[in-house]
Structure 1
């Protein structure tokens, strides 16, 4: 009976985590421009993507490792809402927005890779643009992941 219970618990975890069994971590992400990624309203655009950093749930994110080289960023302020890049027809105008988390939705898949002590958050779709943060950008995704562009470099502070 105990073995059956254990198997059911593990199966439930796999089903509800989108087929992955990776631990999620809660972070605050600070850009090289000293602005933090902040959640807007669900369904709304993250305009601007970066705002002055403060210790607040609107700036805390759960990083979900999908186990396939991709990650999803879930808002702590709005559980169940993840960052996705928009599927705009205008490929030169990309913004990020909060939408219901869906591991099958590739618009929510991000790769992150280290650049020194920082990270780039790069989209899976549309040629791999990077999240960048300045007030003037109004939540736009960078055209390229330039290691010299501090707007696209992010450092994480573990919350908890």
Structure 2
């Protein structure tokens, strides 16, 4: 297990559409494990491969509650519904936070680390996290969706 350095904006890899994965092997499993460790170490809830400089359609998400760790390989959004607005941050944009509107429900089809297809439906915060990471794989940054920005200090003051 290894914690990987995070690629910071304006690195080009963050704004490129990532390449699909076609080989499901030990290297992919190790990459997913390293990404998960990196995400946990940095107190994140999701991490996409482009954020560690790898332009592949791979992401991990874990919001700290059920269903736990979700490995997404070649994820594809099948359905979205509703709207929710909340504050988001991103490991590639340290200390920048912003209000972002996203769908409140998402249905995603993806593959696990062994190449087995699965579908996940999510609402609320988990839907937000999945969509944020899938956006990364399409080269879409949350900063392009921000309605209002906040500094860490402003967030701390809002939390009281």
TM value normalised by structure 2: 0.26
- Larger % of helix: which? 2
Greater Rg by CA: 1
